[in-house]
């Protein structure tokens, strides 16, 4: 054998060793990721990000299938979440079906010349300027059952061919790890559901054992979290008095329901419960609504009308958004609170009333008082007993029973039989919910309305498909926590708002990070141009490395 042949053989041997080392490193990194206690979707996204570091691939897809063969969850690399599912739907059903039925890998060296892909849209794989596209797919199995598929595509180069058998072996090993991880995830989800059921059962048994003096329960209010129990315990105690109550908390935390609970637990429960949103009416109409008007008091007043104060006599009056009333109206309201009397609009007869007042606001009234926008004397009249309602993110253990209750109501209204699986509950519990309970109900109804099957999983929710209105509404919104002389911090009004999945959101693929080009190249050289290793050197994620490489225009070196 001549020297050229020996050198070429040594080069091939070194290349094979490098690929083996990269594959071993890839399996190691992926196994670590699958062992971490994260939600399923970000974990699968992380697996694809690592695959892009170790394989010469353009796109990757992990699709989990139902028993009927429908895509239950699709996670992609190289697209947005919505486009990943769209791409999977465009793949030939025969190709995916062959992987599932045979439980064997599928390799298509050139999709343009293969009968399985004869009817596929040419734009599916992007604009490739006539280049050959290779498709590789392997089944994700648990025993003999196929749970899904792992597929990649790449541009095939005749100048730098990559052996299919080594990539197929590598992807098969990754798919085997995914199968084991999915089995464990299912076991954990089942255990979580069982623990939630046991917790609910034990709480009920404890309450019955204590003769009903355990957890405080109020009709219509769902949850057993410590934060909610603290509120209900306080409500139960203050309801016995006639003191004015100020309910504080973010929008959607259930202030009206708590106000109703105060009424139902009070000696006034046989009397009326009257409510009014002060922010919904202009001042002239608000005065008539609260105090009533005499016949002919103004144009359109064709009859005498009793106001809300008069209607609430002997009962409870709930004024929501009290922080929105004007300065002039604050003086009129103060007189009623001080003297318990008023005159109807256009009238001269003084009317005395006996009303328990409960107010609510999500504004920082202390700051309003400090700058003179809200009367201090009225503030102290209204806030005799302040009650701070916790945000939903501060009572996450209540999310599961609340979600189930909203889904039960939806089923009753629409005659459906939808159910939440463990993955869906885990996903909901990881959400930030800036709109609190009201937003959770909207999320459940939205998902249930568009449900494709009876079993709702995490992939069915809009936030998993770039369709979460709340995430778009609150994206980037920030508000400083209100401050007060009493040092109550974020308990007053609106707290800092962060994106919808602030508690558990994975690093976005396009996260903008400022990496010096020289440091980036140095890290890639030191890591053998393995993005996952370079990410550890620089203390960032593989996705951020990939983004920085594209941003700096650095071409990847393949070995």
Show pLDDT as tens, one digit a residue, over the chain (559 residues): 554 454 555 555 555 566 666 667 778 788 887 876 677 788 888 888 888 877 778 888 999 988 878 888 888 876 565 677 788 888 888 888 999 999 999 998 888 888 888 777 656 665 444 567 888 999 999 888 899 999 988 876 665 555 678 888 889 999 999 988 888 877 777 776 776 677 667 666 655 654 444 555 677 788 888 999 999 999 999 999 888 999 999 888 999 999 999 999 999 999 999 999 988 788 778 888 888 888 877 777 778 888 899 999 999 999 999 988 888 888 888 888 888 888 888 888 889 999 999 999 988 888 888 888 899 889 888 988 999 999 998 999 999 999 999 999 999 999 999 999 888 888 888 787 888 999 999 999 999 998 888 999 888 887 766 666 665 555 544 333 333 333 333 333 333 333 344 433 334 334 446 678 888 888 887 776 777 777 777 877 777 787 788 788 787 765 4
The torsion angle over the Cα atoms of residues 449, 452, 456 and 457, rounded to 10 degrees, is -120
Which residue bears the tokens 């190249």? 521
Any idea what DSSP says for residue 556? P
Q: How many residues does the chain have?
A: 559
Residue 530 pLDDT? 72
CATH number of 226-388: 3.40.50.300
CB-based contact 65:71 (threshold 8 Å): yes
Domain boundaries defined on the chain: 14-188, 226-388, 392-491, 507-559
CATH number of 14-188: 3.30.450.40
The closest alpha carbon to 93, from 71, 77, 67, belongs to: 71
Any idea what DSSP says for residue 274? E
Name the H helices within 36-158.
40-54, 81-90, 93-102
**CA separation for the pair 173, 475 (Å, rounded):** 39
CATH topology of domain 507-559: Arc Repressor Mutant, subunit A (1.10.10)
Residue 199 pLDDT? 66
Greatest alpha-carbon span in the chain: 119
CB-based contact 457:423 (threshold 8 Å): yes
Instruction: Return the sign of the alpha-carbon dihedral for residues 534, 536, 542, 543.
Output: negative
> Given 3-state DSSP classes, what are the helix, strand and coil percentages for the chain, each rounded to the nearest 5?
50, 15, 35
Residue 214 pLDDT? 52
Residue 357 pLDDT? 93
Residue 327 pLDDT? 86
- Which token pair is 548? 């920085």
CATH topology of domain 392-491: Helicase, Ruva Protein; domain 3 (1.10.8)
The closest alpha carbon to 463, from 476, 475, 454, belongs to: 475
Residue 400 pLDDT? 92
pTM: 0.51
Instruction: Return the sign of the alpha-carbon dihedral for residues 464, 466, 472, 478.
Output: positive
């Amino acid at each position: 054998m001549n020297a050229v042949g020996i050198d070429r053989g040594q080069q091939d041997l070194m290349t094979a060793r490098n690929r083996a080392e990269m594959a071993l490193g890839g399996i190691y990194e992926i196994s670590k990721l699958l062992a971490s206690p994260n939600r399923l979707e970000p974990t699968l996204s992380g697996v694809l990000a690592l695959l892009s570091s170790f394989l010469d691939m353009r796109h990757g897809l992990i699709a989990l299938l139902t028993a009927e063969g429908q895509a239950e969850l699709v996670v992609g690399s190289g697209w947005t979440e919505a486009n990943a599912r769209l791409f999977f739907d465009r793949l030939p059903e025969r190709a995916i079906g062959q992987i599932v039925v045979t439980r064997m890998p599928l390799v298509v060296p050139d999709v343009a010349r293969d009968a399985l892909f004869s009817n596929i849209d040419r734009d599916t794989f992007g604009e490739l300027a006539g280049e050959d596209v290779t498709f590789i797919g392997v089944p994700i199995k648990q025993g003999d059952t196929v749970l899904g598929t792992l597929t990649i595509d790449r541009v095939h180069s005749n100048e730098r061919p990559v052996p299919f058998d080594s990539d197929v072996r590598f992807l098969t090993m990754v798919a085997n790890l995914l199968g084991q991880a999915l089995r464990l995830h299912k076991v954990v989800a089942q255990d979580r559901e069982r623990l939630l059921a046991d917790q609910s059962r034990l709480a009920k048994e404890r309450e019955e054992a204590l003769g009903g003096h355990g957890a405080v329960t109020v009709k219509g209010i769902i949850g057993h979290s410590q934060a909610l129990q603290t509120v209900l315990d306080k409500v139960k105690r203050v309801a016995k008095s006639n003191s004015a109550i100020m309910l504080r908390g973010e929008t959607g935390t259930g202030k009206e329901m708590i106000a109703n609970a105060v009424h139902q637990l009070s000696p006034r429960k046989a009397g009326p419960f009257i409510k009014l949103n002060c922010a919904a009416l202009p001042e002239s109409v608000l005065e008539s609504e609260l105090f009533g008007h005499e016949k002919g008091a103004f144009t359109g007043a064709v009859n005498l009308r009793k106001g809300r104060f008069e209607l609430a006599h002997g009962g409870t009056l709930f004024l929501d958004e009290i922080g929105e009333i004007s300065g002039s109206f604050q003086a009129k309201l103060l007189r009623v609170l001080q003297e318990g009397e008023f005159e109807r609009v256009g009238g001269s007869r003084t009317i005395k009333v006996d009303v328990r007042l409960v107010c609510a606001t999500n504004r920082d009234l202390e700051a309003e008082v400090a700058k003179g926008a809200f009367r201090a004397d009225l503030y102290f009249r209204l806030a005799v007993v302040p009650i701070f309602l916790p945000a939903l993110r501060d009572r996450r253990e209540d999310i599961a029973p609340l979600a189930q209750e909203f889904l039960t109501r939806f089923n009753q209204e629409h005659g459906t039989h939808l159910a939440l699986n463990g993955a869906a509950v885990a996903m909901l519990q990881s959400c930030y919910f800036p709109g609190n309970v009201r937003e959770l109900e909207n999320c459940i109804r939205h998902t249930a309305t568009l449900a494709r099957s009876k079993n709702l999983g995490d992939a069915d929710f809009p936030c998993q498909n770039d369709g979460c209105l709340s995430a778009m509404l609150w994206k980037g919104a920030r508000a400083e926590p209100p401050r007060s002389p009493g040092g109550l911090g974020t308990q007053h009004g609106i707290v800092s708002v962060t994106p919808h999945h602030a508690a558990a959101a994975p690093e976005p693929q396009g996260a903008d990070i400022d990496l010096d080009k020289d440091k980036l190249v140095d890290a890639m050289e030191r890591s053998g141009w393995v993005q996952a290793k370079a990410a550890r050197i620089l203390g960032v994620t593989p996705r951020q490395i990939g983004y920085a490489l594209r941003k700096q225009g650095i071409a990847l070196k393949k070995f």
